[in-house]
Amino acid sequence: MIWFRDQIHAYTVRMAKKLYVGNLSFQTTETDLGNMFGEIGEVESVRIITDRDTGRSKGFAFVEMADNGAAEKAIAQLNGKEVGGRNLTVNEARPMQKRDFTDRGGGGGRRRY
């Protein structure tokens, strides 16, 4: 609650849920995804991940739904659905894990006798 000039204003915080959408056709656009997920619930954002060098889609995206109910419904309805000749993978996005590039293993090379 917020106190403002001797009045109490209640507000609700809507928690958006980020979904991972994988196995996308390279021709799928953010507009296509926004329209598809928008039929199920309110979409806050859509972002297709692209290769930084070529700008080409990497075949996956993140869609942020306005509320958990719509997100769960989208997962149930769209996971496995064929779009552009490919079956989509839709699930709740997981936080990105940090990669440790310091120890890449080693070795190889030739031994000289």
Per-residue model confidence (pLDDT) at position 95: 86
Residues 6+ apart with CB under 8 A from 45: 62, 63, 64
Nearest-angstrom CA–CA distance, 11 and 30:
31
pTM score, whole prediction = 0.74
Share of the chain above pLDDT 70, in %: 75
Are 42 and 65 in contact, with CB atoms under 8 Å apart?
Answer: yes
Task: Measure the CA angle with vertex 77, ends 40 and 17; round to 5°.
Answer: 60
pLDDT level of residue 31 (50, 70, 90 thresholds) = very high
Q: What are the residue ranges of helices labelled H in the chain? A: 30-38, 68-78
Higher pLDDT, 50 or 16: 50
Per-residue pLDDT tens digits for 39-89: 999 999 999 999 999 999 999 999 999 999 999 999 999 999 999 999 999
Q: What is the pLDDT of residue 18?
A: 96
**pLDDT confidence of residue 113:** 62
Domains and CATH numbers, the chain: 15-92 (3.30.70.330)
